[in-house]
Structure 1
Amino acid sequence: MSHPPRFPSVAEAELTAFLATRFGVRGTLKDLGSQQDRNYRVRTDAGDRVLKIANPATDTAVLGAQDAAVDHLAGVLPDVRLPRARPGADGAAVQWLAADGVELACRLLDFVPGEPIMDSRYLAPRVVARLGELAGRVAAGLAGFERAGLQAAAPDPTRMWDLRNAPAVIEALAPHLSDQALARRILRAARDAYALVEPYADALPTQIVHGDVTDNNVVCETAPDGRPVPVGVIDFGDLGPGWTVAELAVTCTSVLHHHGAGPASVLPAVRAFDGVRPLGDEEVAVLWPLVVLRSAVMVVSGQYDTLLDPDNRYATAALDRERAMFEAAVSVPAQVMTALFRQGLARSAARPGDAGRPLATPASENGRPAGFPTASRLLPALPAEVHVLDLSAGSDDLHTGRWLDPGIERSLAVQALAAGRTAVRTRHGEFRLTRASVAGAGVAETCALGVELYLTEPLEVHAPWAGTVTRTPDGTLTLSTGDGVDLILDGVGVGVGVGAGIGVAVDAEEPPVPVEAGQSLGRVAEDDGVYVLGVQLRALPGARPPRFATPELADGWLSLCPDPGALLGEVSREPLEEGRGGTWSAAAEAELLERRAHFFATVQEHYFEEPPRIERGWRHHLVDTRGRVYLDMLNNVTVLGHGHPALSDAVHRQWRRLNTNSRFHYASVVELSERLARSLPDGLDTVFLVNSGSEAVDLALRLAWATTGRRDVVAVEEAYHGWTYASDAVSTSIADNPGALASRPPWVHTVAAPNSYRGRHRGAEARRYGPEAAERIAELAARGTPPAAFLCEPFYGNAGGMPLPDGYLEQVYAATRAVGGLCLADEVQVGYGRLGTHFWGFEQQGVVPDVVTVAKAMGNGHPLGAVITRREIAEAYRSQGYFFSSAGGSPVSSVVGLAVLDALRDEELQANARDVGGHLKNRLHELAHRHGLIGAVHGSGLYLGVEFVRDRTTLEPATEETAAICERLRELGVIMQPTSDRQCVLKIKPPLCLTRDGADGFVAALDDVLTHGW
């Protein structure tokens, strides 16, 4: 395979003169770089163009074909931006330039506006999908294109980017690599990949393809959320005949070097391509092997280009990207990716014996691979009933963080054996919580690709079918037939009952030993008093599969590692409650989401575009059904953290004793009321117990109305207080209700949001909010509508967690009381030590309200709230009748409230909020110095907000970017959502048990997103 000749050097002045003479264009040039051709952006007064100088080896007829293909696509894809050719002075598109004795073919093309995305920044799934869709549209658009000289039948050996020539290109160029160890790896990978392509090669559809619809040749616009949107295709230099599926393979390969990308990252592109131009089964079978071949060609070609042309900065700069693509492409067996594609496209797998059978999932009959002789049981003496461990996120045995204990799987098995079980087994395909990790943002390998069997005695293991046996130095025993499925066993000892010739390999794998079906292979070996056997099936030639797979690759691995359970005989599988435990299924998860949408009112929205199914929490972590652990930086309701053992125990004890309502007399409701009153300043000594923050605010307003005999209320703009009639009426946040301001009843009056960052008065001028609010209250009284109450969060929560201006509440409370009104402090979000410096938010302002409302943290997620006020105010409610809340003061609710107060005190969570929150805020300020999108960091303790702006001067809110950032944070394992009326503030209100490591993990994830994109 000959490589294109070295490009002759052409001076910029010569190019400028050439453009003026041949194309009548005058302008400035910018070298755009290229691996084979030369491309220059030409800036002119009439607009930009691109001067494209073809490599001397390029046939002129091919250039004409490229221009014709662009014109053809412009007709069938009118919404796609394309580089159409401009005629020269003589009317021809191709003009000739002599350089160093070489005639160079030059064309002037339309400059396609937009930016390529080859800079390795992160590509969101929707962006990857758009790339795949665009590749599919180009392939479909070119399907009917024909051009003389571009026959699609036989590959032209001079076209190095035609993947039909990939093996020859790699074999020719790899020997020239300076790193011969890398060259050998590439050759081995390429040969293995082509072996998977070859059985299908003649059946693959062929047509004219663009050949390079990649991140470098797709131009994008920037969407409002900051993500790139593919809108055009450039550089038709690789146009020619080829396999249609190669168009997709090239696109997928280009995704792999982007930040955070892995093999599964290409799935959105594959689905999108298939939606435009459906893939045949044979095309699905060869797609990933072609990705391997494409990446290998790029590495050897790039390395060779730098040898020929060391000054080619474009080729040199691409080396790391090309190497990254190759490493990602070979990081997982091609068969696994093919199985993953089949699953993702809902295609049936091929059966053993079909062409390319290594890509297939084996069928099974009665626990044996199809086509094998009748299998005997692996352990004939295994008891009929085997206890099945539940190690999933729904397991009742893994509460209070037990899933993090080292050796918990073995401990649970030993516990079951000690309870009288004779055999215990794990489940194949289960996403094990026991394999999850809370350390870092990485995704753990949680999906079990085999099973473990725990026994009380050393049962004898028999070959379930005839074949050959090998034993590796680590003791792994593999029974193979040489075709189809292999059986892999761990924990088979040698000695009594061992088949003849099956010994222990010391330094290397032993030669295969033939065995008959039913022949003894040895006994299950003892492991510290327990006998443990690992069993795995492998429908994949070569190296042993991992024992566990990451969630994103699980479907692919499971297709190649079938369930070996039937080889153990008729296993009694203990039923599990629906939705708990068991093996995870994408179909089941989708069906559950559909049921939610069908029966659950859709205005009760869920977080995230594709919400993970969360079934477990522990401290400041949440866990989904695939064993993915998330850092919970959002849940201000669970102030103690998730799964708190003392709270759980207290509730359990009380439920077994009694749960009724507070009209009955019992100790816990008295004790909780006392504890609440004693946490507040003198005078706030009377407690109402309710079931939510909305009910608490509603009751506080009713108390003010009853006490004053008035109706009017003053509320702060951009605030949220609840969903009941009264609490909703005083909620002015348009984020929660877009019509909030227009739909307020006439008895609600507002004062300006005291937002010192982006409000009417900023910085030092924020001191004006207090006097203006006081003046507003005085004006209402002068008009004959003195307010019954002023309602405000003592720390401005809805805006993103920022303090009120110094003295604000002192001034407004004084004005309210001067006209006979009550001062209501909504502590539903900020109370209970979240600020770190103070237990109650109003303490930070140095005031004492007349009525305090609290909820959320008070019950750690249990429906519990309270209103605390003075005795005379509480007694005034009798004019309205009586008050009663069924759940608010129940025995269980009261015990919950007491347990929360105990934990806050005993675990010093307020001090933790102060210390960890201070550390977190300092780290966030450090980020703000490096990332211009951060306009401000608000808050105190663990009541923080990071506000994103597009411009630090105009403070234009980065609303769409914030939503996209939250989606990306979820992908990195952090739960976060936007807040504020502009939805441009990260709502940072985690459980108060957050650790410094957790805070640092959040900062690292946010830094990753802001650095590498979302």
Structure 2
Amino acid sequence: MVNAYVPGASNALPERERTMIERRERLLGPAYRLFYEEPVHIVRGEGVWLYDPDGNAYLDVYNNVASVGHCQPDVVAAITRQVATLNTHTRYLHELILDYAERFLATFPAPLGHVMFTCTGSEANDLAYRIAKAQTGGTGIIVTSLAYHGITDAVSQFSPSLGRHVPIGAHVRAVPAPDAYRRGAEGLGAAFAADVRAAIADMRAHGVEPAMMICDTIFSSDGVLSDPAGFLKEAVDVVHAEGALFVADEVQPGFGRTGAALWGFLRHGIRPDMVTVGKPMGNGQPIAAVVMDPEVVDEFGRKARYFNTFGGNPVSCAAGNAVLEVIERDGLVANAANVGAYMMAGLRELATRFEAIGDVRGAGLFVGLELVRDRATKEPDAGLTARIVNGLRQRRVLISASGPYANVLKIRPPLVFGREHADTFISALDDVLGETAN
């Protein structure tokens, strides 16, 4: 895992945190991972800030789950009111789920007109795959080479970023990511479409019929691949021509993150058959969903029941409704565009002074900064990236990295991030680059 804590790698951990790590290992087992060479102990959050037990504030430049800010008061109040009134499942009639569904679906273009609720993005992608199989009769899935879509057994098989010890399924084909920095922007859409066409042909050569292609529309695990806007359309056209479905995974780019609209797929001018969303829709409260063209779910719905005890429960729907209200009231899509552009300009100014910055890319408040040993060869520098991530952590700025070479800073703060926060981040990054990149 990129940016994982390695036990014993640092001698600087205080006794309190060393004791906590030992308890974690004893109680939670070996599969969990912590961030940073020196893990951060967090006890409170507010807006774009996280606080440790000593009251030190850390600027959060990474957390998309708390989409409208940590402990956002309106969301907290909505959850509190509803949990004090009723929390139950969708087999009883309840107006709140219907009110929220209407408001939520109104943010999507036609023909996306049905929503099915889950608790997590993993569950949403699992459900989308079940629906795709029922609709198409196929089982094959196309993803990009370092995609992440979730952790259920079915979904982990099409999440290659989980690593070699979580192998992708025999029915899955991973295609090269549409990386304009390394593959070139010209003809990128046609090249990506050709890769998808070849993947479908290979499936069929092995007796597998395609069911769906699924993409995170900002390709965050692949290294934050955003441009040129529209490069996805040709590949989606190929998928539809071959009788398969396209699923836009909006867990990370959704809810205004890219600054152009509420949903990242709209930057590409494409028509998804299904859209999956995750915990940012409830600001961290467990709620997720699949939004779909009603025709897509017809076969599945006639033959199979769907039930999820807490998917779409009243408390989570109250949180989701409050998140939409805050985004609309506070103009957070426009804020993502404005602050994102301001931050990217600052990062590009840094690139004029630090040769290690090979590329700055992104959309809105989702930015990737790629670090290289040599701009001419574009040789990735994962070691420098790790030093920068941990150097920022020492300055109480929290960030992480992604990409196939672990050399892309993944910049993804809450949507309430302001210019003053961008200045704090860029100043800290300037300092760390000055210490580590020269």
- TM class, shorter-length: over 0.9
Classify 1:980/1:880 alpha carbon distance in 2 versus 1 (closer, same or farther; 3 Å): farther
1:806 Cα deviation after fit = 4.7
Provide the secondary structure at the position in 2 that maps to 1:803.
coil
Q: Deviations over 1:430-455 (max 9, x none)?
A: xxxxxxxxxxxxxxxxxxxxxxxxxx
How far apart, in 1, do the equivalents of 2:238 and 2:287 lie?
A: 32
d(CA) in 2 for partners of 1:880, 1:729? 25
Contact 2:387 2:436 in 1 (8 A): no
- Residue number in structure 2 paired with 1:8: none
Number of the residue aligned with 2:195: 773
Aligned pair partner of 1:900 in 320, 323, 332: 323
| 2:171 corresponds to | 747
Give the AA of the match of 1:846. Answer: G
Distance 1:127 1:899 in 2: 42
Asked if the contact 1:800/1:944 (under 8 Å) is kept, the reply is: no
| Shift in Å, 1:1012 | 2.3
The structure-2 alpha-carbon separation of the partners of 1:597 and 1:764, relative to structure 1 and needing over 3 Å to count, comes to same
Tell me by how many angstroms 1:967 deviates: 1.1
| Residue pairs, 1:245-256, within 5 angstroms | none
- Partners of 1:806 and 1:622 lie apart in 2 by 33
Match in the other structure for 2:3? none
Question: Which amino acid letter does the alignment assign opposite residue 96 of structure 2?
Answer: S
Taking the aligned partners of 2:382 and 2:55, their CA distance within structure 1 comes to: 31
Residues in 2 aligned to 1:610 and 1:806: alpha-carbon distance in whole angstroms: 38
Offset, 1:828: 0.9
Distance 1:871 1:608, change over 3 A: same
Question: Against the structure 1 CA distance between its residues 995 and 600, is the aligned structure 2 distance closer, same or farther, given a 3 Å change threshold?
Answer: same
Q: Does the Cα contact within 8 Å between 1:826 and 1:852 map onto a contact in 2?
A: yes
Q: 1:778 to 1:597 in 2, by over 3 A?
A: closer
Q: Distance in 1 between matches of 2:317 and 2:380?
A: 43
- CA deviation string 1:204-250 (max 9, x = no partner): xxxxxxxxxxxxxxxxxxxxxxxxxxxxxxxxxxxxxxxxxxxxxxx
Name the SS for the 2:34 alignment partner. coil
SS at match of 2:79: helix
Name the counterpart of 1:684: 112
Partner Cα separation in structure 2 for residue 781 and residue 590 of structure 1: 49
Q: Which residue of 1 aligns with 2:71?
A: 643
Please give the secondary structure, in 2, of the residue aligned with 1:868.
Answer: strand
Q: Give the gaps of 5 or more residues in structure 1.
A: 1-125, 130-267, 269-343, 345-585
Letter in 1 for 2:358: G
Aligned pairs for 1:312-711 within 5 A: 587-711=15-139
Question: Given the alignment, which residue of 726, 747, 750 partners 2:154?
Answer: 726
> 2:281 matched to 1:858?
yes
Residues of 1 paired with 2:301 and 2:84: CA distance? 35
- 1:1011 equivalent to 2:434? Answer yes
Tell me, what secondary structure is at the counterpart of 2:368? strand
What's the offset of the Cα at 1:804? 4.8
> What amino acid sits opposite 2:110 in the alignment?
D
Q: 2: distance between equivalents of 1:916 and 1:808?
A: 24
State the percentage of identical aligned residues: 37
SS at match of 1:614: coil
> 2:400·2:409 contact (CA, 8 Å) conserved in 1?
yes
Q: Which aligned pairs between 1:131-280 and structure 2 lie closer than 5 A?
A: none
Counterparts of 1:635 and 1:698 in 2: how far apart (Å)? 23
Match of 1:843 in 2: 266
Cα distance between partner residues in 2 of 1:643 and 1:825: 28
> C-alpha displacement at 1:603, in angstroms?
2.0
The 5 Å alignment of 1:69-84 reads none
2:307 is matched with 884
Specify the code of the residue in structure 2 equivalent to 1:707: Q
Is the 2:188–2:231 contact (alpha carbons within 8 Å) kept by the matching residues of 1?
Answer: no
Q: CA deviation at 1:654?
A: 0.6
Q: Which deviations, in whole Å up to 9, do the C-alpha atoms of 1:647-673 show, x marking residues without a partner? A: 111111111101111111111111121
8 Å CA contact 1:774, 1:811 repeated in 2: no
Number of equivalences? 429
Which residue among 335, 344, 350 is the counterpart of 1:927?
350
Q: By how many angstroms is 1:127 displaced?
A: 12
In structure 2, the residue matched to 1:988 is: 411
| CA shift for structure 1 position 880 | 5.5
State the shift of 1:799 in Å: 2.5
The structure 2 residue matched to 1:950, chosen from 373, 388, 394, is: 373
Task: Pick 1 or 2: higher relative contact order, CA cutoff 8 A, min separation 6.
Answer: 2
Distance 1:630 1:779, change over 3 A: same
TM-score where L is the length of structure 1: 0.41
Alpha-carbon distance, 1:805 to partner = 4.4
**Residue segments in structure 2 that go unaligned for 5+ positions in a row:** 1-7
Shift of 1:753: 1.1
2:5 aligned partner: none
Query: For 1:970 and 1:593, how far apart are their aligned partners in 2?
Result: 18
Shift of 1:732: 2.1
| Aligned mates of 1:977, 1:828 — CA distance in 2 | 18
Name the counterpart of 2:4: none
Structure of higher CA gyration radius:
1
Alignment partners' CA distance in 2, 1:700 and 1:844: 22
1:888 is paired with a residue whose SS is: coil
CA offsets per residue over residues 164-217 of structure 1, 9 Å max, x none? xxxxxxxxxxxxxxxxxxxxxxxxxxxxxxxxxxxxxxxxxxxxxxxxxxxxxx
Question: Which amino acid counterpart does residue 756 of structure 1 have in structure 2?
Answer: A
Of 816-825 and 684-693, deviating more is 816-825
8 Å contact kept, 1:829–1:856: no
The corresponding residue for 1:757 is 181
> SS of the counterpart of 2:63?
coil
CA distance in 1, matches of 2:412, 2:200: 36
1:963 to 371, 379, 386: 386
Aligned CA-pair RMSD: 2.1
Q: Which amino acid aligns with 1:751?
A: V
TM-score, normalising length: structure 2: 0.93
SS in 2 for 1:830: coil
**What one-letter code is carried by the residue in structure 2 that aligns with 1:861?**
G
Q: Which residue of 1 aligns with 2:244?
A: 821
2:297 is aligned, of 870, 874, 889, to 874
Q: Is contact 1:721–1:731 with CA below 8 Å preserved after alignment?
A: yes
Task: Report if aligned partners of 1:707, 1:877 keep a CA contact under 8 Å in 2.
Answer: yes
Secondary structure at the counterpart of residue 596 of structure 1: helix
Letter in 1 for 2:176: A
Q: CA deviation at 1:616?
A: 0.6
Aligned to 1:940: 363
Q: Residues 707 and 767 (structure 1 numbering): CA distance in 2 closer, same or farther, change over 3 Å? A: closer
How many Å separate the matches in 2 of 1:631 and 1:705? Answer: 43
Q: Distance in 1 between matches of 2:231 and 2:209?
A: 20
- 8 Å Cα contact 2:214/2:247 also seen in 1: yes
Question: SS at the partner of 1:938?
Answer: strand
Structure 2 partner of 1:95: none
For residue 708 of structure 1, report the CA deviation from its aligned partner.
1.0
Counterpart code for 1:918: A
Give, in angstroms, the shift of residue 957 of structure 1.
1.5
The residue identity in structure 1 corresponding to 2:88 is T
Task: Give 1:722 deviation, angstroms.
Answer: 0.7
Instruction: In structure 2, give the amino acid aligned to 1:748.
Output: V
2: CA distance, partners of 1:899 / 1:893 = 10
- Distance in 1 (CA, whole Å) between partners of 2:350 and 2:237 is 40
Corresponding residue for residue 716 of structure 1: 144
Partner AA of 2:163 in structure 1: N
After the TM superposition, which parts of structure 1 deviate over 6 Å for at least 4 consecutive aligned residues? 126-129
**What is the Cα deviation at residue 779 of structure 1?**
2.5
Name the SS for the 2:223 alignment partner.
coil
> Of 738, 760, 772, which residue of structure 1 is paired with 2:164?
738
The whole-number CA distance in structure 2 between the counterparts of 1:982 and 1:847 is 29
Q: Note the C-alpha offset of 1:587.
A: 4.2
Matched, 1:797 2:223: no
